[in-house]
C-alpha cells in the first residue's frame, strides 16, 4: 500500500508542475493540423525569426524540417537560416546559458518538446496573454504565467494590450483581483484575427517539433492493429487445431 501511494504521488507531479504557471485563466482551444504544410512553414518562419534568438530546438535539424515540409535547401536557407549556419545543423542558439540567466534571470528553455509538456492550448493561450505591466523588468506580464521572465517578443505583431480586471470579495472579506480579458491599447502590425492565425501556425509548428513523425506513427499504427487482429484470429484457430483431440 505504501508503494502504491508513492507511485500515485509521482504520477501527480507533472500535473502540479503544469498548474504552477497556469493562474486562473481559461485555456483557449486551438485546432492543430499537422497535414497543413503551409501553416507549418509559416510557423517555422515565425519560430526562426522570433523564438530562435533565445530558445533552441536542439533535437531538430533544418534538413529534417525541409524534408518534412517539402522545402528545398534554398528555401530553408532563405526562410529559416537567417542567422547563418548549415542545412544539416540542429536548431541551436549562440547565446550561452550563463549569459542568458544573467540577462533574463533564468536560461530560456529548449523548445524541442515544449508542446508535449505544456499542450497546444496552453501555448496558444500563453502567446496571446501578454499585457502591459510597468512593474516588470520588460514592461509586460503574462496572465497565464504570472511574472514570467520572457519578454513579449511578438509585441510588434500583436501590439500592446492592457489587462481588464475584476475584483471579487470572498466569504472572509478578502479582495481578489482576476484578469477577465484584454484591451488593445497600441495596435501592432497584424489585426487581432491575423495575429491569432499567426499564433496558430506557430503552435502548429511547435507541436510538430515535439513529434515530427506523428503522422507516420498514426498511419503505421493502423496497420499494426490490423496485423494484431489477424494474428490473434490465426493464433486462436491454431490453438483450437492443436487441442481438438483433447477437448
What pLDDT is stored for residue 245 in this prediction?
78
Q: In this predicted model, what pLDDT tens digit does every residue of 107-140 receive, in sequence order?
A: 889 999 999 999 999 999 999 999 999 999 899 9
pTM of the model: 0.81
Alpha carbon distance 240, 247 (integer Å): 9
Beta bridge partners of 168: 176
Residues 84 and 175 in one domain: yes
- Phi, psi dihedral angles at 67 (to 5 degrees): -65, -45
Number of structural domains in the chain: 2
CA neighbours within 13 Å on the CB side: how many for 34? 17
Q: What is the DSSP letter of 242?
A: H
Q: In this predicted model, what pLDDT tens digit does every residue of 133-143 receive, in sequence order?
A: 999 989 999 99
> In the structure, what pLDDT confidence band is assigned to residue 244 with cuts at 50, 70 and 90?
confident
Which DSSP helix (H) or strand (E) runs through 80?
A: none
Residues 233 and 116 in one domain: no
- The grid coordinates listed for 130 are 501578454
CATH of the domain at 167: 1.10.760.10
Residues 156 and 237 in one domain: no
**Pick from 59, 19, 40: nearest CA to 210:** 59
Range of the domain at 243: 220-247
Residues 44 and 100 in one domain: yes
> In the structure, what pLDDT confidence band is assigned to residue 181 with cuts at 50, 70 and 90?
very high
What is the torsion angle, in degrees rounded to the nearest 10, for the CA atoms of residue 28, residue 49, residue 206 and residue 115? -70
Residues 143 and 160 in one domain: yes
Amino acid at each position: 500500500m505504501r508503494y502504491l501511494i508513492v507511485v500515485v504521488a509521482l504520477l501527480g507531479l507533472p500535473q502540479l508542475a503544469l498548474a504552477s504557471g497556469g493562474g486562473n485563466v481559461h485555456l483557449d482551444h486551438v485546432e492543430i493540423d499537422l497535414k497543413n504544410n503551409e501553416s507549418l512553414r509559416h510557423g517555422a518562419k515565425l519560430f526562426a525569426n522570433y523564438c530562435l534568438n533565445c530558445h533552441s530546438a536542439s533535437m531538430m535539424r533544418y534538413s529534417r524540417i525541409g524534408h518534412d515540409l517539402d522545402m528545398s535547401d534554398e528555401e530553408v536557407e532563405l526562410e529559416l537560416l537567417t542567422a547563418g549556419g548549415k542545412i544539416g545543423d540542429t536548431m541551436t542558439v549562440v547565446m550561452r546559458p550563463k549569459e542568458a540567466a544573467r540577462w533574463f534571470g533564468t536560461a530560456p528553455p529548449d523548445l524541442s518538446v515544449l508542446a508535449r509538456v505544456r499542450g497546444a492550448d496552453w501555448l496558444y493561450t500563453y502567446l496571446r496573454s501578454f499585457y502591459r505591466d510597468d512593474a516588470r523588468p520588460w514592461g509586460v506580464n503574462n496572465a497565464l504565467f504570472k511574472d514570467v521572465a520572457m519578454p513579449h517578443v511578438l509585441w510588434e505583431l500583436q501590439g500592446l494590450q492592457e489587462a481588464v480586471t475584476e475584483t471579487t470579495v470572498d466569504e472572509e472579506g478578502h479582495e481578489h483581483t482576476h484578469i477577465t480579458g484584454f484591451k488593445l491599447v497600441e495596435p501592432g502590425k497584424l489585426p487581432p484575427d491575423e495575429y491569432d492565425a499567426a499564433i496558430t501556425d506557430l503552435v502548429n509548428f511547435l507541436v510538430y517539433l515535439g513529434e515530427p513523425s506523428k503522422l507516420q506513427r498514426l498511419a503505421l499504427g493502423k496497420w499494426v492493429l490490423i496485423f494484431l487482429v489477424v494474428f490473434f484470429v490465426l493464433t486462436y484457430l491454431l490453438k483450437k487445431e492443436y487441442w481438438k483431440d483433447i477437448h
